[in-house]
A = this chain, B = another copy of it.
């Protein structure tokens, strides 16, 4: 996962990157709304936001109308990090698609966009957030030490 490596240089993980981007697109949204949009369960979102908060990238401001909710905002540093992430994304894409001409890249993008749309994916939202519980594997058995 080359992209993850690049993001790690910013002391973040790919899930963090998606959250920063989502917040920047709708500043002030609640955790509930953010989690709903990305498909992250509340408990997981809390931890990811804690980490972003801790790094000074995101602020949880009190909502005056409803004291149960936080209004999520990017800090100045958060905005700068988002720009750095955009650079990282461009670099990653350049490396990944090095084998293709720019015409081929556009073609690939349009084919994939068709597929994504037909599959009902939301643009800008990585489907990996919505985790699907795998089937339970039964365990152990043979293979004793000879």
Contacts and interface: CB of A to CB of B under 8 A. Distances in A.
A123 interface: no
Nearest to A11: B135
Contact of A53 (B50, B107, B115, B141): B141
A132 interface: yes
A114 to B, nearest CB: 5
Contact of A99 (B5, B53, B118): B118
B8 A135 contact: yes
Contacts of A135: 4, 8, 11, 13
Interface residues of A, number: 40
Interface in A1-32: 1, 4-5, 8, 11, 13
A109 to B, nearest CB: 10
Contacts of A143: 46, 49-50, 53, 60
A118 B141 CA distance: 41
A44 interface: no
B118 A111 contact: no
Nearest to A70: B143
Interface in A112-136: 112, 114-115, 117-119, 132, 134-135
Contacts of A51: 137-139, 141
A100 interface: yes
